[in-house]
Chains A and B, each alone.
Chain A
Amino acid sequence: MLRHKAQSARSVSARVRTEPRAVRIVLILAALGFLALFIFLPVVIVFVSALQKGWQFYLSAIGEPDALAAIRLTLLAAGIAVPLNLLFGVTAAWAIAKFDFKGKNLLITLIDLPFSVSPVVSGIIFVLIFGLHGWLGPWLDQHDIRIIFAVPGIVLATLFVTFPFIARELIPLMQAQGIDEEEAALSLGANGWQTFWRITLPNIKWGLLYGVILCNARAMGEFGAVSVVSGHIRGLTNTLTLHVEILYNEYNTAAAFALASLLAFLALVTLVAKSIVGWKSQQQLKAVEQSPPGRKPYEN
C-alpha cells in the first residue's frame, strides 16, 4: 500500500510539472497572498499595535495590576482545567478503547457535546444551574458559596469547553493499539498499575501531549463561556481574553494589543509545539498501523 501511495504521489508531481510555468506561479502567489492577508498580516498588526507606544508602554501595560490579575486568573483556570481533563481524558479513552460496556456510544457522544454546543450557551447553562435564580442558586446563597461571577464559575466553564480535547485525541490511538500488550503484561505478572505506567502510558505519550497542548491553548484562549459566567469584575474575575475586550472597548488600543500579543505569542508557541508533537504522534500511529492489528476487547 505504501509503495502504491509513493507511486501515485510521483505521478501527481509529474502531472503538475506539465502545467505551464505561469499557471504555477499564479497559483502559488494566490495561495501565499491569501495566507499573508488573513493570517500573517493580523499577527503582525497585533505586535505592531502593541508596540506603537514603545517598549516602555508595552511593559507597563502588561505589568499593570489588573492585567497581572487577569494573567494569573487565566493561568489558574488553565492550570486546573488541563490536569483535570488530562485525568478524565485518559480514563475515558482507557474505558472506551479497552473495555466493552453498555452505554459506550452514549459516552462517546457526550464527550463530543462541548464541541457541538456554542460556548456562550455552555456559559448560560452554568448560570442556569449555579446562578442566583438557578437550580442550586438559593442553596449556594444560603451557604455563602459563590460560583457564578467568581473564580469557580470561570474554572468550571473552562473545564467544560476543553473537555473533549484529550479524550478525542487518545480514543482512536488506543483503539488502534488494542489490548494485546496489556494482556501480555498481565500474563507476565504485572499488576494493573504497572501495566498502565510501563505499557499503556509510553504507548500513548505523544498523542497525550498533543491533546494537552490543544487543550491548554483552548483553555487560555476561551472567551464565550467564560464571558457569560465571569461578571467582568476587574482584577477579580477577568481573564486575559476578557481583559483585552474591556481595554479595547475603553479605546485603550495599545494596552489591549499588548495583552493580545501575549495570547498571539502563546498561539505561536502552541503552533510550533503542536507541529513537532503532532508529527511524533503521527509516527506513533503509523507504527501501530504497520504492526499487525491488536486484539479488540471481547473479540473472539
Chain B
Amino acid sequence: MRIEVQNMTKRFGAFTALNNISLQVQTGELLALLGPSGCGKTTLLRILAGLEFSDAGSIRFDGEDATGQNVRARRVGFVFQHYALFRHMTVFENIAFGLRVRPRSQRPARVEITEKVTNLLRLVKLQELAQRYPAQLSGGQRQRVALARALAVEPRVLLLDEPFGALDAKVRQELRRWLRRLHEEIHITTIFVTHDQEEALEVADRLVIMNSGEIEQIGTPEQVYHHPANAFVFHFLGDVNLFRCRTENGYPLIIGHVTPEQPGEAEENVAEKAFVRPHLFNISTQAHGVNEIKGKVVHINPAGPTVKIEIMSEWGEIVHAHISQEQYAELQLCPGAQVFLQPKQMQIFPD
C-alpha cells in the first residue's frame, strides 16, 4: 500500500513532536524511521497507526484519505516496542485474537482460524510453542509472536516500534536478518522505527532520518551514508571527528577543533566544519606535509576487527582513529608515541 503524509504537525502541550512533516512510502517498501530519542519517530508511527491523531496535516492510504480513521478502520499491523502480548492467553490465542474478534459475518470458521494460525506459527518458526504463555518465552520469541499476531489480520501495512530495542545484541542480529528475509517473502509495506543507525542501514530499503520533529533526509542506505544532506545526518550515521577548517586555494585545510568559543577567529574563512570518520585517516610516525594533524597516542584498544586509537592532537583535543590490525603491527604504536594523521576523506558542511 502507498502512504502519503502531508504537512503533519503534532504537539504535546508545549512540546512539538512533529513539525510539518511530509513523506511518501511506496508499496512493498521496507522503510526505517531513524533518529535520536525524542525526535518524533514513534509519534509519527503511532499517528500512521491511528493510535494518536495529528493536530494538522493529512494521511492518505492508496490515495484515500485516512486522516480521521481510527485504528480499527485503518487495518494496520502494529508491533509494540515491548510486544504487548496478551499475558493471559497462549501464543496460539494471541495470534488468533484478531480473527476471533471480527464481526460474525466476517469471522472465519474455527477450522480456518486454526489453519491460519498454524501457518503463521510456521512462518515465525514457533510451531512447538503454540500452547505456551508469553511469560514462558524469550524476548526474541515474544517478538516473533507479536509479529505473527499483527500479520494474522492481513494488514495493509506493518508498523514496528523499535522492533529489536529490547533484545540482546546476538538475538538482534539474527532477528533483523530474519525480518529482511520475511519481508522479501511476503512483501508487505513495512515501516519500522529505530534509533540504531546500523540496524536501519542494514535492514531498510529507504531511511527517513529525523531530528527534533523534522525530516533531515530521505534516501537509500547508500545515499544517506555516502551523500549525507547535512552535518546532522553525517554525524548520526557513524562515529566522526569534528574539525574547523579554512579554504585555501580551493582546498579545505584543518586548522583546529570546533570548540564553543575561539575569540578573534570567527572570520569569514573559518566558518566551516570538517567531518572525518575514524577509519578514514592515514596514520604515520613521520610528517608528510600538508593538512596533517600532529598528536600523541594516549590510548590503544586492539580488541576487535580494527584497532581503535585515541590521539591527543596538538590543539589539545582527542581524535579517534581506527586502523587495520596489519597496519597496527607495522607501525608498532604505543601510548606516548608521536603520530601524524592525514584525512583520506573529509566532509565539509557550512556552519
Give A112 Cβ to nearest chain B Cβ, in Å: 28
* Contact of A291 with B87 in the complex, beta carbons under 8 Å: yes
CA distance A293 to B77 in the complex (A): 21
Count of B interface residues, CB-CB < 8 Å: 34
CA distance A198 to B166 in the complex (A): 27
B78 part of interface (Cβ distance < 8 Å): yes
Give B195 Cβ to nearest chain A Cβ, in Å: 14
Contact of A185 among B43, B88, B97 (CB under 8 A): B97
A188 part of interface (Cβ distance < 8 Å): yes
Contact of B82 among A188, A202, A292, A298 (CB under 8 A): A292
Interface stretch of the complex, out of A123-131, A189-197, A212-220: A189-197
Count of A interface residues, CB-CB < 8 Å: 25
Contact of B88 among A180, A202, A292, A294 (CB under 8 A): A202
Give B162 Cβ to nearest chain A Cβ, in Å: 11
Beyond A181-B86, A198-B101, is A188–B12 a contact (Cβ under 8 Å)?
A: no
Give A132 Cβ to nearest chain B Cβ, in Å: 51
* Contact of B135 with A191 in the complex, beta carbons under 8 Å: no
* Contact of B82 with A189 in the complex, beta carbons under 8 Å: no
Q: Which of B12, B101, B166 has the most CB of A within 10 A?
A: B101
Beyond A180-B80, A183-B51, A292-B82, is A298–B72 a contact (Cβ under 8 Å)?
A: no
Question: Which residues of chain B are within 8 angstroms of A185 by Cβ–Cβ distance?
Answer: 86, 97, 101
Give A174 Cβ to nearest chain B Cβ, in Å: 14
B300 part of interface (Cβ distance < 8 Å): no
> A166-184 interface mask toward B, CB cutoff 8 Å, 1 = contact, 0 = none?
0000000000000011011
* Contact of B82 with A186 in the complex, beta carbons under 8 Å: no
CA distance A126 to B213 in the complex (A): 55
A84 part of interface (Cβ distance < 8 Å): no
Question: Which residues of chain B are within 8 angstroms of A261 by Cβ–Cβ distance?
Answer: none
Question: Which residues of chain B are within 8 angstroms of A287 by Cβ–Cβ distance?
Answer: 87, 135
Q: Which residue of B lies closest to A177 (CB)?
A: B87
Beyond A292-B166, A293-B82, is A187–B87 a contact (Cβ under 8 Å)?
A: no
A203 part of interface (Cβ distance < 8 Å): yes
Give A207 Cβ to nearest chain B Cβ, in Å: 13
* Contact of B101 with A180 in the complex, beta carbons under 8 Å: no
Give B191 Cβ to nearest chain A Cβ, in Å: 14
B49 part of interface (Cβ distance < 8 Å): yes
> B73-96 interface mask toward A, CB cutoff 8 Å, 1 = contact, 0 = none?
001111010101111100000000
* Contact of A184 with B42 in the complex, beta carbons under 8 Å: no
Question: Which residues of chain B are within 8 angstroms of A199 by Cβ–Cβ distance?
Answer: 86
Question: Which residues of chain A are within 8 angstroms of B43 by Cβ–Cβ distance?
Answer: 300
Question: Which residues of chain A are within 8 angstroms of B87 by Cβ–Cβ distance?
Answer: 181, 203, 287, 291
Beyond A190-B101, A287-B135, A300-B42, is A294–B82 a contact (Cβ under 8 Å)?
A: yes
CA distance A239 to B2 in the complex (A): 69
Question: Which residues of chain B are within 8 angstroms of A186 by Cβ–Cβ distance?
Answer: 51, 70-72
B57 part of interface (Cβ distance < 8 Å): no
Beyond A198-B101, A300-B17, is A180–B12 a contact (Cβ under 8 Å)?
A: no
* Contact of A300 with B15 in the complex, beta carbons under 8 Å: yes
CA distance A185 to B51 in the complex (A): 11
* Contact of A181 with B84 in the complex, beta carbons under 8 Å: yes
Question: Which residues of chain A are within 8 angstroms of B122 by Cβ–Cβ distance?
Answer: none
Give A188 Cβ to nearest chain B Cβ, in Å: 4
> B102-116 interface mask toward A, CB cutoff 8 Å, 1 = contact, 0 = none?
100000000000000
* Contact of B86 with A291 in the complex, beta carbons under 8 Å: no
CA distance A292 to B139 in the complex (A): 11
B246 part of interface (Cβ distance < 8 Å): no
B153 part of interface (Cβ distance < 8 Å): yes
Give A128 Cβ to nearest chain B Cβ, in Å: 42
B149 part of interface (Cβ distance < 8 Å): yes
* Contact of B97 with A300 in the complex, beta carbons under 8 Å: no
* Contact of B71 with A187 in the complex, beta carbons under 8 Å: yes
Q: Which residue of B lies closest to A183 (CB)?
A: B51
CA distance A183 to B83 in the complex (A): 11
4 smallest beta-carbon distances between A and B, as pairs: A188-B98, A180-B84, A292-B82, A184-B84
Residues of B within 8 A of A (CB): 12, 15, 17, 38, 42-43, 49-51, 70-72, 75-78, 80, 82, 84-88, 97-98, 101-102, 134-135, 149-150, 152-153, 166
A-B CB contact pairs (8 Å), 23 listed:
A180-B80, A180-B84, A181-B84, A181-B86, A183-B71, A184-B80, A184-B86, A185-B97, A185-B101, A186-B71, A187-B49, A187-B51, A188-B149, A189-B75, A191-B101, A198-B97, A290-B135, A291-B82, A293-B82, A295-B80, A298-B12, A300-B12, A300-B42
